[in-house]
A and B are shown apart, each in its own frame.
Chain A
């Protein structure tokens, strides 16, 4: 289970020329839910991409459990015990629900473990069990969100990166989603949660960071961030 710290030190990441991240440093401590708040386009997804090696940082260092993972190939990063529930869910539309889950466990060799976790996912989301042989592209938005979460758990990761899980969901689903994330964490998975939904995110987090334009502009325990009027004004309107 999660006993490794993710450390991000002074990371600069650019897509073409202009830096999107300009010296981001933060820590995701084991066993906790750490959140990253910030408004549209400040670089939250870019930070996730930097961790995963999808867009390698041009400067700075990212370590996980003391191991340097900066700019590693994505499949190697995943092998260190990291999984991701990407922004926009990104289920594979032309794979079935079962196949989508199976791919979440792509690096898991033991068939028994895969089956056990698949059953767990179906227990958490009975709706998915009913649709197990349906193509994921035919699911509703809420069901795709469930599938994306279930898929993220299939590798039994130490650290789960979650990028805006409530985006585009109905309020009821959003609430359920936050409950699920909390339950995942209670089972020992470290969570790094990227969100714009400030109040509900802080309600389940142990620690939070606020990203401004490419920089961390505030950090602290949830209550200090909630009370931080400046942060509220500047980033959440």
Chain B
């Protein structure tokens, strides 16, 4: 394989890994604070990409042709509206089901995902057709020792990395992050310490969903296309990545995301004759990993003994 092709595989793998990691972080955060699976999370991402797309179309429609203004509009609109959507989902569908079996939450959010998906298909103008997401970032390439790197790819990867660092800082360095970690470990004791449990849950859903919206825009910018049903597979992969990494562990989720993308890349390299095989390969390995390490790759470091 020549260097150009290899670099393409690597960049593509990193990009997908970044998106999976960002989706998986949401699953793991939600599971952390509430022990629930928010199964419509992938569709929330898709809504983010459509909100971003609409914002870009809006900016273009009023005659502004600066791509960075369009990008900023897309990001602000997607992150705020989808963050709000996350809070609404938590408030209406997740918190009220707290005393019922977790399976109910999984089921209700699974159905909610279908509602989001079908709503975009039915009510978005020509929603059933893929939409062309305009390339807003510079598409020229820079050559680094035999590799040709596209500037937009590098920018997206750096932006994704910054989001991961930001999540890390919020969780580990802020009062809110401390509250999120406390609630994840022991919700009643967290309340006993004076933490407003419902507020922490809502904010966690805002953060996780806003990150998914960011990933949705990343997805649009990278593939230059968005689709009403693109969230489904991304959701399943993000969920699988979170499980493989150890549900509840943020670093596990990130690791799981990149691992899944690496597996897909290996699958694609080994079986270049049909791209569908890469998913079959990646999911097969994930299933094997789950059977081998049922609690995830990042094991609990301390016992939960009281």
Contact = CB atoms under 8 A, between A and B. Distances in A.
Contacts of A86: 189, 192
A54 B182 contact: no
A229 to B, nearest CB: 36
A220 interface: no
A137 B182 contact: no
A115 interface: no
Interface string B187-207: 011111111110000000000
B65 interface: no
A228 to B, nearest CB: 33
B41 interface: no
Interface stretch (A99-107, A121-129, A169-177, A192-200): A99-107
B275 interface: no
Contacts of B186: 90, 92
B181 A94 contact: yes
Q: How large is the interface on A (under 10, 10 to 19, 20 to 34, 35 or more residues)?
A: 20 to 34
Nearest to A139: B302
B304 A106 contact: no
A65 B93 CA distance: 38
Contact of B194 (A79, A137, A138): A79
25 contacts: A52-B191, A54-B188, A54-B191, A54-B192, A73-B196, A74-B192, A75-B191, A89-B306, A90-B189, A92-B181, A92-B185, A92-B186, A93-B185, A94-B302, A95-B178, A95-B181, A95-B185, A103-B182, A104-B193, A106-B193, A106-B195, A137-B302, A137-B303, A138-B302, A151-B193
Given A78-B193, A90-B186, A155-B194, 11 more contacts: A54-B192, A75-B195, A84-B192, A86-B192, A95-B182, A99-B178, A99-B181, A106-B178, A106-B194, A137-B303, A137-B304
